[in-house]
Amino acid sequence: MRRPAALAVCCALALAGGGHVRAQGNPRSLTIEGGVAFINPGSPVIADSEVDAHPIPRLPDGTVDLTGPWVGGGTVADIERDGGLKPGELPLLPWARQLRDRRQSQDDPYTACLPIGVLRTNPYPWKFAMSYTPKGLSHIYILHELGDAGAHRVVYMDGRPHPADPVPTWRGHAIGRWDGDTLVIDTVGFNDKFWFDRRGTPHTEQLHIIERYTRVNYGTLVNHATLDDPGALARPVNLQFTARLLRPDRQTGVGDLLEFICNEDNQYGAAGAFRPGTGAGLK
């Protein structure tokens, strides 16, 4: 079974790499991928190609099953790079570029237990949870094992429009629909508090995100995302992120999301001498 008690050690290690690690395997066996430190759970038993060859599962109503749990599929360190762009291709306005370049990762609101924003993820699993009524699918909840602050994202699937003047929130107001086997999520109404990534990429309350999630094979989920933010971007930009299914042969456990409690200013990195806002601690 996975051991939540190991998380205290893991968090200190993760902050050194700008992300989180998964508490499995020998804690002295680390892998660094994209600046994020992972505890190596060992080699998979089944090749990816064999897993991907399985039929894409469907729910009883015929809808493609996107449930997961998934790992990845978003940005951690740098949304420009993680989204498939070359350095300098993210069309930030001058003020936004200057702000990003001034920011330091130790000041990231996420390190003070505030929620991650849309398109941000970490090396822990996340999943879609479907809510049905007699009339059909009404809501989708997107749950992250380490979303922090106990936040979850709600996607309204009942045909409602966006409110005319949404209250700015961390996750925004999201409405969804199916386009064939692709889940399309349209989100507005963000606040400007979260960082897209550890690099400090900013946005404004004008941010509008459209995500298109497609399960291209059994083990792979692709998200084609469009960012439109006239306050921070010179033009809309298209990004692509890929998530992999959290498979039983890559972990000890069944893929359930574990409980993780984090309160604002809890400073879970303190065990590693990490002090948000001071520039001190692990690099």
Full pLDDT tens readout for the chain, 283 residues: 343 333 333 343 333 333 333 333 344 455 555 455 554 444 556 778 888 999 999 998 899 999 999 999 999 999 999 999 999 999 999 999 999 999 998 888 888 888 888 999 987 889 999 999 888 899 999 998 887 666 789 999 999 999 999 999 999 999 999 999 999 999 999 999 999 999 999 999 999 999 999 999 999 999 999 999 999 999 999 999 999 998 765 544 456 787 777 765 555 555 545 554 444 443 3
**Token duo for residue 177:** 């629909």
d(CA 49, CA 39): 23
Cα distances from 118 to residues 21, 166, 219, 283, in angstroms, run: 20, 16, 22, 25
Answer yes or no: is 33 within a domain: no
Nearest to 68 by CA among 178, 186, 220, 187: 220
Answer yes or no: is 257 within a domain: yes
Q: Say if strands 70-72 and 237-245 run parallel, antiparallel, or are unpaired.
A: antiparallel
Structural domains in the chain (count)? 1
Q: Can you tell me whether residue 87 is helix, strand or coil?
A: coil
HSE of 102 in the Cβ direction (CA atoms, 13 Å)? 7
pLDDT at 51: 84
Answer yes or no: is 32 within a domain: no
Q: Can you tell me whether residue 156 is helix, strand or coil?
A: strand
Residue with tokens 């809501």: 139
d(CA 68, CA 255): 9
Answer yes or no: is 11 within a domain: no
Asked if 69 and 246 count as a contact pair (C-beta separation under 8 A), the reply is yes
Answer yes or no: is 51 within a domain: no
Asked if 246 and 125 count as a contact pair (C-beta separation under 8 A), the reply is yes
Count of Cβ atoms closer than 10 Å to residue 38 Cβ: 22
Answer yes or no: is 45 within a domain: no
Answer yes or no: is 78 within a domain: yes
H helix count then E strand count, the chain: 4, 11
Nearest to 199 by CA among 94, 80, 116, 279: 80
Q: Which domain holds residue 222?
A: 57-263
d(CA 270, CA 110): 14
Asked if 45 and 248 count as a contact pair (C-beta separation under 8 A), the reply is no
Answer yes or no: is 10 within a domain: no
Nearest to 203 by CA among 131, 120, 134: 120
Provide DSSP, 22-77.
---S-TT-EEEETTEEEE-----SS-HHHHHTSPPPB-TTS-B-----EEESSBSS
